Structure 1
C-alpha cells in the first residue's frame, strides 16, 4: 500500500475480474440461447443479445470491484491475490468504489431500459448478493460458499429472462444447475488454498471440517449438479444430443469427484483438488456450449 494510486486502464479492467466476467457471461449467453431457440434471427434479437451482454458485463464487474475493495486487507497475504491493483495501492479504494458505482448504474440502466425489468432485477439481486451478502459473510460463516452460489447462479437467468421477461420453471432449472456446480469448484479451490485461508482467518470448509469431509461435500454437490443438468432434457427443453453430452461430461465429473477418496496424504489431496478445480471449469464451459448449440427437445 502507499503507492501512487493512479492505476492504468489495465488496472481498472483487472479489478472487475475479467476471468469471472467471461465465465459468467458464457452462462448468460447459454440462458439467452435456450430461450431464443424457437425464434428466428433478426436485427432486434441481435440487438437484445448485445445489450444483455453489455449490461451483464457491467453488473458483474461492479460487484467484483466491491469484493476487491472489502478483501484488500487479506488479499495482501494470499499468493494469488497479493498483486491486485487495490491490494498494492495502484488504485485507491475510493476510486474503485466510484468506478463500481458507475458500472452498476450503467449496467442496470442498460438492462432495465434496453432489455427488460425482470433481467434488470435478476442482475441487481446478483449484484447485491455477491457484493454485500457474500462478501460480508465470507469471514464469518463456513457456508459463505453456498451464499455466494446464489449470486453465481444468476447470469444464466439474466440471459434467459432477457428473452422471456419472466422467471419460470426453466429459469429455475438453470438456477439449480448453476448453484449446484459451484461448491465442487470452490471447495476444490479452498482445499488447494487451505493454508492461505487459514492464515487470514477465512472460515472455508476444508479448515473447519477437514479434507475428508470436504471431499464428501464435493461428491454430494457433484451428484446434485449432474442430476440437475439432465433435467433440461427430461423436462423436454433440450434434445437428445444435449443428453448425450451432459451424460458423458457428468460421468467424468462424478468419476473425478470419486477419485478424491483414493488419496489420504495432504500433498496428493491438494494435487487432486487442483485437477478437480481445473476440470470443473472445463465441464461448465462444455455444458454451456451444449446449452447454446444443442437442438431443442423433439
Structure 2
C-alpha cells in the first residue's frame, strides 16, 4: 500500500504529541502520599470543576491557606517582642548584670511555658484538629509523636519554664505563667466546643504576658518591704502593666474575629463554637467595639505619665487605621475583602503601638542630647550641705537643703517602685 509523505507526517505528529495533562490525570497518577495537602486540595477542586477558571487570586476573602501557621510563628516571636517592650517600659536603666539576666530568664521561661500550653492544647484535641485544614498537619494528628511523648513534653517544658521564671524573676511572674498554662490548656481548649465565650478566655491568655514583663521589671526595683504579689499587681505602680495587658486583650478581638471569619467553615466542621459562624453580625460588632477601646487604653499610658505626648499622635494614627477597617468589617459583615483588610491592619497596628510606646517612654531621651546624666540616687552621706547665703554656720539653710534632698530621694524611690528608674 502506498503511503504518502503528508500522511506519514500526520501519523508521526499524532503519535508524538502527548495528551494534555489535566488535574484529573495528575490526581489519578500520583499517590496521595506524594502530593502536599494544599496541592491535593487544589487538584480535587480543579477535577470537580475543570471548566471553571481559577479565580482564587481574586477571591475577596481569601487568605493564604497557611495563614494560621504563619500567625502562630509570628505570635511566638511577637510575645518575646511584647515582653521585651514591656520590660523596657518598666525599667529604662538596664544593666548587663541584673536586668539582662532577668530578661533572659523571663523570655526563656515564657517560651517554655508557651510550649507547654500549646502541647496540652494539641494533646486534648487531635481528632478535632484532623477536621480542620489549618491543623490537620500537626504532629499528633499525623502520628509523628505519641500521646505519651506529648504529655511528657508538656509537663517537662511547663515545670522547667515555671522554675526559670520563679528563680530568675519572682514568684509573681511564675504564678502568672502557671495561670496562663492552666487557662489555655484546661479552660480555653475544652471551652471551644461548649461556648463562644472561649474567645474571651483566649484574650485573657494573650493579655497576661505583658503583665508578666511589667511585674518582672518592677520586681527588680522593689524593696524588701514592697515585693509581694499585691505590690507588683495591685498597687499604683502596676497601672502601666494593666494598661499594656488591656491593649493585648482588646487587640485580639479585631484580629481573631477577622481571621476566624475567613476560616469559619473549618471551625464549624470541627464543632468549635465561634461567633464567626454562629453569629456573624455579633462577631463584627465585637471586633468594632474593642477597636474603639484601643483609644482610651493608649491615652491611659499618657495620662499616667508612662509615655509622652508624642505617643498620642502615633497611637491615634495606628488605632484610627484599625478602626476604619473595623467599621468596614462591621458594615459588610466580612464581605468585599473587609475581613482581610481588618486582619492585616491588626497585624501591623500592634507592633507599631508597642514600639511607639517604647520610643515615647517618659524620660527615655533625658540627657541624650545634652550628654549629661543626673544621678538621682546620690547617697545623702556624700552630699554637701552648703549654706545658701554662706553666712555663719548656716544651720537653718543646711537643714532645709537636707530636707529637700530627702524629699527628692523619696520621690525618686517612689518612681522606682513605679518602674521608671532602678536604683544604682
Q: TM class by shorter-chain length?
A: 0.7 to 0.9
* Structure 2 residue aligned with 1:20: 75
Aligned length: 279
Question: TM-score, structure 2 length as denominator?
Answer: 0.62
Q: 2: CA distance between counterparts of 1:292 and 1:56?
A: 21
Q: For the pair shown, which has the larger CA radius of gyration, 1 or 2?
A: 2
1:76 aligns with 2:146: no
Q: Which runs of 5+ in 2 are unaligned?
A: 1-68, 220-231, 367-424
Give the aligned CA root-mean-square deviation in angstroms: 2.0
1:216 aligns with 2:285: yes
- Offset at 1:278? 2.4
The 1:262/1:172 distance shift into structure 2, 3 A limit, reads closer
Q: Is the contact made by 1:48 and 1:115 (CA closer than 8 Å) also made in structure 2?
A: yes
The 1:134/1:173 distance shift into structure 2, 3 A limit, reads same
Map of 1:2-41 to 2, 5 A cutoff? 18-37=73-92, 39-41=93-95
Q: 2: CA distance between counterparts of 1:254 and 1:163?
A: 32
- Offset at 1:20? 3.0
Question: Which residue, out of 191, 198, 218, partners 2:261?
Answer: 191
Question: Which residue, out of 286, 289, 294, partners 2:355?
Answer: 289
Q: 2: CA distance between counterparts of 1:27 and 1:40?
A: 17
Q: Is the contact made by 2:306 and 2:361 (CA closer than 8 Å) also made in structure 1?
A: no
Map of 1:98-177 to 2, 5 A cutoff? 98-165=152-219, 166-167=232-233, 168-177=238-247
Q: Is the contact made by 1:59 and 1:107 (CA closer than 8 Å) also made in structure 2?
A: yes
Question: Which residue, out of 310, 321, 324, partners 1:241?
Answer: 310
Q: Is the contact made by 1:184 and 1:218 (CA closer than 8 Å) also made in structure 2?
A: yes
Question: Which residue, out of 112, 135, 149, partners 1:58?
Answer: 112
* Structure 2 residue aligned with 1:6: none
Q: 1: CA distance between counterparts of 2:308 and 2:106?
A: 25
Q: 1: CA distance between counterparts of 2:264 and 2:218?
A: 42
For CA contacts below 8 A with separation 6 or more, give which structure has more relative contact order: 1
- Offset at 1:267? 5.0
Larger helix fraction of residues: 1
Q: Which runs of 5+ in 1 are unaligned?
A: 1-13
